């Protein structure tokens, strides 16, 4: 099997699974219970929180565990606006955000908020000048993804943070789900107020994520019913998930440090292949994108056909975000980048991990070289 859909999810690491099972068996007590089993579970939860905080270079009290990146994004955005400290009704994001951000802002527009969707350039990057021009006295939140989930575009988060430092009424939320472990980001240097991560994007388990909340920043919780997670998220804590997430992220950072040239090398091979192919159009930034995501289109081909044909050979890729891939509509992200509907309707996303090998890329390229002419021939014969 050749798995090239790591932006949708990653395969859990064996050591991470071992951690999850061990904690689930030995520390199954409710972390909010007062007896010994509860106290022991709480200690594991606190150690997991402390490890994530150490790796992110923030305070443990800033780490809030959630169930998904979508939940974290919703809490960051809605929790900010529901807070009595935030009165402004103007919000800023980009036209190319993940659905969990885009759909949240669309919903907020139906509830009295005004949203500015910043345009992006041909590679999906925003303009700092346009961002500053969009800020008004009513602006209360800017939400920007660090790495785009479809194209790998890296937004200038540190520069954005420096800009927003001059507007103390504006909170800065960063969706770091696709960048975590692949594209370095300092929360402190970028002056981030709220940051989202999800464990299953770096070989952790689905069902565990986190939201970083800057100290002394107030949010209104979306879930009520208990004082768990510092009062921000009622509900029994997922201790094993938190422990597995911390383990996975520590391992991912280790591989990022020890194998820092691997992903750029594999990405460059795919960029060269797309540029040299007569059938493909490269959509990702050829030089400055994230090292693990490549997006190209095959005009005249149906991407779902390519994906299924590759799957028959146990090669797994995707079209757009897994949250949108079954809609069979043009990519909203690529349309925002100025691509034609044909280009936006025929996109293929290749997303790598540190597990990906040179040989797997060779096999994928060979399969595409065989597959595309065969599909074209079948289409012509039917016509």
User: What CATH number is attached to the domain comprising 288?
Assistant: 3.90.1150.10
Same-domain status, 121 and 223: yes
Same-domain status, 240 and 289: no
- Which of 216, 237, 255 is the last residue before a domain boundary? 255
Set 11, 323, 363, 367: catalytic member? 323
Residue 326: the pLDDT is 53
- Which of 225, 255, 285 is the last residue before a domain boundary? 255
Q: Quick one: which H or E segment has residue 198?
A: strand 194-198
pLDDT at 382 over 50: no
Number of structural domains found in the chain: 2
- Which structural domain, as residue segments, surrounds residue 74? 14-255
Residue 227: the pLDDT is 84
Same-domain status, 269 and 240: no
Q: What sign does the CA torsion over 38, 41, 45, 47 have? A: positive
pLDDT at 89 over 80: yes
Section 141-159 average pLDDT? 97
Residue 125 falls in the annotated catalytic set:
no
Same-domain status, 115 and 247: yes
pLDDT tens track for 289-325: 999 999 999 999 999 999 999 999 999 999 865 454 4
| Percentage of residues of the chain with pLDDT beyond 90 | 83
Same-domain status, 95 and 110: yes
- Which of 232, 255, 278 is the last residue before a domain boundary? 255
Same-domain status, 173 and 311: no
Same-domain status, 71 and 172: yes
Q: Which CATH number covers residue 125?
A: 3.40.640.10
pLDDT tens track for 98-145: 999 999 999 999 999 999 999 999 999 999 999 999 999 999 999 999
Same-domain status, 101 and 130: yes
Same-domain status, 231 and 361: no
Same-domain status, 266 and 171: no
Same-domain status, 250 and 266: no
Same-domain status, 268 and 247: no
């Amino acid at each position: 099997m050749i798995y090239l859909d790591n932006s949708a999810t990653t395969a859990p690491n064996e050591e991470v699974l071992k951690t999850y099972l061990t904690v689930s068996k030995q520390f199954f007590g409710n972390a909010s219970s007062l007896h010994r089993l509860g106290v022991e579970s709480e200690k594991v939860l606190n150690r997991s929180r402390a490890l994530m905080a150490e790796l992110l270079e923030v305070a443990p009290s800033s780490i809030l565990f959630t169930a998904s990146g979508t939940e974290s994004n919703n809490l960051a955005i809605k929790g900010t606006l529901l807070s009595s400290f935030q009165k402004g009704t103007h919000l800023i994001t980009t036209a190319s955000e993940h659905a969990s951000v885009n759909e949240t802002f669309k919903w907020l527009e139906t509830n009295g908020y005004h949203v500015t969707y910043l345009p992006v350039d041909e590679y999906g990057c925003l303009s700092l000048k346009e961002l500053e021009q969009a800020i008004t006295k009513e602006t209360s939140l800017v939400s920007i993804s660090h790495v785009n989930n479809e194209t790998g575009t890296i937004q200038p988060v540190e520069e954005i943070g420096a800009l927003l430092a001059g507007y103390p009424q504006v909170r800065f939320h960063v969706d770091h789900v696709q960048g975590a472990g692949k594209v370095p980001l300092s929360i402190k240097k970028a002056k981030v107020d709220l940051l989202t991560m999800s464990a299953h994007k770096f070989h952790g388990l689905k069902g565990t994520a986190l939201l970083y909340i800057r100290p002394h920043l107030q949010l209104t919780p979306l879930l009520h019913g208990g004082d768990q997670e510092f009062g921000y998220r009622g509900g029994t804590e997922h201790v094993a998930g938190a422990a597995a997430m911390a383990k996975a992220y520590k391992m991912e950072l280790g591989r990022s440090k020890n194998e820092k040239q691997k992903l750029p090398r594999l990405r460059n091979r795919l960029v060269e292949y797309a540029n040299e192919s007569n059938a493909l159009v490269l959509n990702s930034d050829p030089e400055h994108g994230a090292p693990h995501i490549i997006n190209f289109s095959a005009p005249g081909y149906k991407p779902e056909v390519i994906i299924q044909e590759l799957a028959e050979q146990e090669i797994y890729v995707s079209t757009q975000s897994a949250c949108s891939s079954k809609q069979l509509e043009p990519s909203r992200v690529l349309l925002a980048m100025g691509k034609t509907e044909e280009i936006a309707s025929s996109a293929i996303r290749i997303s790598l991990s540190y597990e990906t090998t040179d040989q797997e890329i060779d096999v994928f390229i060979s399969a595409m070289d065989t597959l595309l002419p065969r599909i074209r021939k079948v289409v012509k014969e039917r016509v």
